[in-house]
Copies of this chain bind each other. A is one copy, B any other.
Amino acid sequence: MSKRHILTFETYDDWDTGPMEAAYTVYNLPHGAPLDSLPQEAFAQVEAFAFRGHDHLGADVMDAFPKLGMIANYGVGYDTIDVAHATSKGIRVRNTPDVLTEDVADLAVGMLIAGSRGMIGASDWIRSGNWAANGAYGLQRKVPGSSVGIVGLGRIGRAGAERLVPFGCDIHYYARSAKDTPGWTHHDDIVGLARTVQTLVVTVSGGPETLGIVGADAIAALGPDGFLVNASRGTTVDEGALLDALENGGLGRAALDVFLNEPDIDPRFLKLDNVLLSPHQSSGTVETRKVMGQLQRDNLAAYFAGTELLTPVN
């Protein structure tokens, strides 16, 4: 039986390309490459996408492949994919939830600790010779603070909150409705949540519904002693307001794994010493990426086998 044809987007690790090329005829569209760089026969033959990446996947791309029936996204967030258009064309979209929950929650808590305790500056303090020459590093802030507010108590937010409990953090959360929790405090208003807590941890999904959900008013409510951690998407926080507040002391600190226009982030971030920067590596561990790749391939295999798809988005 001849192999089916798939199109992969961006770059995969060898442990992913090997199995994909063994199973399929694979075309690849590197980051930033135009669609017409693909060979002509690809458009007629490709039946599924192994999608990953930062670029928008819209109607124009989907419609160029008449046999396209399935988009297997590598990642839990699919905000770059026009799911509504896919649905209207009968194209099934699948993602890789759950398998990266731990890594994202781990990094969010790591950023909270590292930011509170000034760990990046502490490393610089030694490596620049300041410790030996000028003595003790400046005092930092205790981790628990008064309380932590989780914006979005989905899988990742809940895993983050669970990790923070033994640190003595009092857990508050924003969600549209109260959830079943071990005594955590529900807020239906992000500004009110930001006024209550010292640290806000954003874990809500991206997409149009959460665009700028943490706005200038919430950042102001967090205040000069406040700390914002974002492990969700750059779109969820009003980035201009965030930069203004970090620059003028309206917000104390931030720790960010996500930005608008990644990886060409706003150069204003690079001038600030009260922000911990992380290059969207929330699921970036060898262990998790291998599992994500496997789940993406399992979704492809299930589609071509005509069996039940594993992790449906639409």
Contacts and interface: CB of A to CB of B under 8 A. Distances in A.
A144 B102 contact: yes
A3 interface: no
A120 B117 contact: no
Contacts of A166: 159, 162-163, 165-166
Interface string A101-128: 0110011011101101111101101110
A286 B139 contact: yes
B279 A122 contact: yes
Does more than half of chain A's interface fall in helix, strand or loop, or is it mixed?
helix
A109 B163 CA distance: 11
A262 to B, nearest CB: 8
A278 B123 contact: yes
Contacts of A66: none
24 contacts: A13-B139, A31-B135, A106-B167, A107-B113, A110-B110, A111-B119, A116-B285, A117-B281, A119-B120, A119-B276, A122-B277, A123-B276, A123-B278, A126-B270, A126-B278, A127-B270, A131-B265, A132-B263, A132-B264, A136-B263, A136-B279, A141-B286, A163-B166, A163-B167
B117 A287 contact: no
Interface in A267-314: 269-270, 276-279, 281, 284-289
Which residue of A106, A125, A126 has the most chain B CB atoms within 10 A of its CB atom? A126
Interface of A: 11, 13, 31, 102-103, 106-107, 109-111, 113-114, 116-120, 122-123, 125-127, 131-132, 135-137, 139-144, 159, 162-163, 165-168, 262-265, 269-270, 276-279, 281, 284-289
Contact of A277 (B113, B126, B141, B165): B126
A122 B231 CA distance: 14
Contacts of A109: 113
Contacts of A126: 265, 269-270, 277-279
Contacts of A116: 106, 285
